[in-house]
Amino acid sequence: MKSTEPGRRRHLPTSPFKPPPAAPPAKTFEPDDRVTHDKYGLGRILEVHEGRSVLVDFGTQKVKIPAPFSKLFKL
Protein backbone atom coordinates (compact mmCIF):
# COMPACT_ATOMS: atom_id res chain seq x y z
CA MET A 1 0.00 0.00 0.00
CA LYS A 2 1.43 3.40 -1.02
CA SER A 3 0.92 6.57 0.95
CA THR A 4 0.39 9.93 -0.73
CA GLU A 5 2.86 11.65 1.61
CA PRO A 6 6.21 10.11 2.50
CA GLY A 7 6.55 9.31 6.19
CA ARG A 8 2.82 9.64 6.92
CA ARG A 9 0.48 6.80 7.72
CA ARG A 10 -3.18 6.68 6.89
CA HIS A 11 -5.46 6.92 9.93
CA LEU A 12 -8.14 4.24 10.05
CA PRO A 13 -11.58 5.30 11.31
CA THR A 14 -11.78 2.16 13.46
CA SER A 15 -8.48 2.91 15.23
CA PRO A 16 -8.69 3.46 19.00
CA PHE A 17 -5.98 6.14 18.70
CA LYS A 18 -6.55 9.80 17.88
CA PRO A 19 -5.60 10.94 14.35
CA PRO A 20 -2.32 12.84 14.06
CA PRO A 21 -2.65 16.64 14.13
CA ALA A 22 -2.98 18.35 10.77
CA ALA A 23 0.21 19.85 9.39
CA PRO A 24 0.49 23.61 9.92
CA PRO A 25 0.00 25.71 6.79
CA ALA A 26 3.16 26.34 4.79
CA LYS A 27 4.79 29.70 5.37
CA THR A 28 4.71 32.08 2.43
CA PHE A 29 6.97 35.07 1.90
CA GLU A 30 7.04 37.92 -0.61
CA PRO A 31 10.02 40.04 -1.74
CA ASP A 32 10.60 43.00 0.62
CA ASP A 33 8.93 41.25 3.59
CA ARG A 34 10.63 42.04 6.89
CA VAL A 35 11.59 38.86 8.76
CA THR A 36 13.46 37.67 11.81
CA HIS A 37 15.58 34.52 12.09
CA ASP A 38 16.61 32.78 15.32
CA LYS A 39 20.28 32.70 14.28
CA TYR A 40 20.77 35.68 11.91
CA GLY A 41 18.39 38.29 13.37
CA LEU A 42 16.41 40.90 11.42
CA GLY A 43 16.35 40.84 7.63
CA ARG A 44 14.49 41.54 4.41
CA ILE A 45 13.43 38.98 1.77
CA LEU A 46 15.22 39.54 -1.54
CA GLU A 47 14.14 36.51 -3.61
CA VAL A 48 11.49 33.81 -3.23
CA HIS A 49 11.89 30.38 -4.81
CA GLU A 50 8.39 28.95 -4.23
CA GLY A 51 8.38 25.95 -1.92
CA ARG A 52 12.17 25.62 -2.00
CA SER A 53 14.01 28.55 -0.42
CA VAL A 54 14.24 32.30 0.15
CA LEU A 55 17.20 34.66 -0.10
CA VAL A 56 17.35 37.03 2.87
CA ASP A 57 19.51 40.14 3.35
CA PHE A 58 20.48 40.38 7.02
CA GLY A 59 22.57 43.53 6.54
CA THR A 60 25.99 41.94 7.09
CA GLN A 61 25.30 38.91 4.90
CA LYS A 62 22.84 37.41 2.42
CA VAL A 63 21.65 33.93 3.34
CA LYS A 64 19.66 31.39 1.33
CA ILE A 65 17.29 29.66 3.75
CA PRO A 66 15.71 26.36 2.62
CA ALA A 67 12.11 25.33 3.29
CA PRO A 68 10.36 24.62 5.69
CA PHE A 69 11.59 27.93 7.22
CA SER A 70 11.23 26.67 10.81
CA LYS A 71 13.39 29.48 12.28
CA LEU A 72 12.19 32.27 9.98
CA PHE A 73 9.25 34.48 11.01
CA LYS A 74 7.48 37.31 9.22
CA LEU A 75 7.24 40.59 11.13
SS (H, E, C) the chain: CCCCCCCCCCCCCCCCCCCCCCCCCCCCCCCCCEEEECCCEEEEEEEEECCCEEEEECCCCEEEEECCCCCEEEC
Confidence of residue 26 (pLDDT cuts 50, 70, 90): confident
pLDDT tens-digit map of 38-74: 999 999 999 999 889 999 999 999 999 998 898 999 9
The proportion of the chain whose per-residue pLDDT surpasses 90, expressed as a percent, equals: 57
Indicate the pTM of the whole model. 0.67
Instruction: Provide the residue ranges of all domains of the chain, joining segments of one domain with +.
Output: 34-74
